[in-house]
Structure 1
């Protein structure tokens, strides 16, 4: 007869909720939510989407370059092969879709519509991931995805009518830009995943961001005189906040959070992002949000939240 085995005492923090992970996820979501607010502050200083995007890339690329060099050194140290030319070219192409095309359309849309309306339109990109997955990657479409799509876009329709009454045709132009940004970002998500699995997230980010950075700078030089990059110290400060505070830093917070909490918990906390954007727009930009706009926002968040949670459980 085998002797009874005394179970090891549970770790002191085994049942303690990962508060640090929740906090980092919330901070990351809040920092991402500040992006549209910071862009609006830059526009108030008299620059356009192309210049703002160029400054953002110029200031954020050094951070990602350091990450990429670290990834290369780490890959070499493990004795793993570096990605071949075909993989690099595919990564460059995907980076141009996600970090140049989608970002430009988003920045351009913010020239016409409010920051909180922009955030809510972008927030619907998971629904396009489902539609593109079904159309091009033979992924099944569940009925709850279509219902979530209907609920979220009912909310966006309510917001659109409200903003159209206030701003006229500019609302349609801006909404179309940002909706196109959501569509291209969804396509980027689908195309990026297999590449990230093969070459790793750090190296992928370096190559994709580097390619997009070059494209953004060439785009700026093709549409603006070189002297336009010499902006005021105030604008450099705003764009540094955009590059580091709303781009680089939240990506680290969310990555760190995923080490301590589940992807479902992280996605749930991420639903706070549109609400934070609305509150920041009211506090920083002086925007007013009507009752019908709050209702529209609630419908968008409800639709995406329902879809996200049901997908995680499924």
Structure 2
């Protein structure tokens, strides 16, 4: 294998920092409905990708079969609701709690593969899942003591993790037949349309937001989306899936630090303890379920 044009580990560090900005950016645009923030994040991402798709990938659209369009549509709907639930959770709970709970996605994914593909659990996977779930209970218990609304935010974050898991499970078969760019463009496009319909249904305004919000919407499309997930998927050519998965576990730490610096959010003892236990459980889980297969890294 030829040497990479840049150090893949340095690229992963940039990616971790990039995805860590997502929750803070959403909080900064808290005056806009969560579904509007999600809508413009995906819409701007689609607009930015369009020239590259037209120049280099338009021939792949002929390869998309009717079944794949149906699956891509379902994946897009689940991705849309992932962002709705997760972004909405940030209106009720802290960045620390929300990001840690959304990071439980690998466990939901493994449960999904067990139910639909009959993939067996190892003893290590079961133990690590119990540890991670125990940590999430500590976070939720601490948040409930602070406010019932904080617990509601935790519940929304977990729903967001379930939605993004469904997005992955549905889309993984299409990814084998399409390039990452084409698949992402199609799903983001469908997800944007879903969010437009959702926002129109609930009467949310698409205009009238402060100029700073529009910069935040654009930043969400560029920083966590392209500088985050795109760099991770580039690094998968040179690094193992487990290495990238381990790196993603640093997102809650980065997001919590940024929230402390930018938003003055204080992390409670239950969030520190529960978050540490969740991340430790996820670390063990990734080690125990490590397989040599490539995945699309995304949620933030």
TM-score (norm 1): 0.86
Cα separation, 2, equivalents of 1:66 and 1:181: 30
Q: Any stretches of 5+ residues in structure 2 without a counterpart?
A: 293-300
Give the paired residue count: 292
Cα separation, 2, equivalents of 1:62 and 1:193: 24
Does residue 30 of structure 1 match 2:17?
Answer: yes
Does residue 84 of structure 1 match 2:69?
Answer: no
Cα separation, 1, equivalents of 2:66 and 2:118: 28
- Asked if the contact 1:18/1:261 (under 8 Å) is kept, the reply is no
Please name the residue that 2:274 is paired with. Answer: 296
The structural deviation recorded for 1:28 is 0.8
Structure 1 SS opposite 2:131: helix
- Asked if the contact 2:37/2:217 (under 8 Å) is kept, the reply is yes
The structural deviation recorded for 1:57 is 2.6
- Asked if the contact 2:74/2:170 (under 8 Å) is kept, the reply is no
Q: Any stretches of 5+ residues in structure 1 without a counterpart?
A: 1-10
Please name the residue that 2:40 is paired with. Answer: 55
Does residue 189 of structure 1 match 2:176?
Answer: no
Please name the residue that 1:237 is paired with. Answer: 215
CA, structure 1 residues 293+18, in 2 after alignment: closer, same or farther (shift >3 Å)?
farther
- Asked if the contact 2:93/2:149 (under 8 Å) is kept, the reply is yes
Please name the residue that 1:206 is paired with. Answer: 185
Q: Deviations over 1:249-303 (max 9, x none)?
A: 2122112222232222222222211111111111111011233422211101100
Partner of residue 131 from structure 1, selected from 111, 114, 117: 111
TM-score (norm 2): 0.89
- Asked if the contact 1:55/1:239 (under 8 Å) is kept, the reply is yes
- Asked if the contact 1:71/1:203 (under 8 Å) is kept, the reply is no
Does residue 66 of structure 1 match 2:51?
Answer: yes
- Asked if the contact 2:71/2:171 (under 8 Å) is kept, the reply is no
CA, structure 1 residues 302+67, in 2 after alignment: closer, same or farther (shift >3 Å)?
farther
The structural deviation recorded for 1:74 is 5.9
User: 1:111-126 alignment to 2 at 5 Å?
Assistant: 111-126=91-106
Does residue 159 of structure 1 match 2:146?
Answer: no
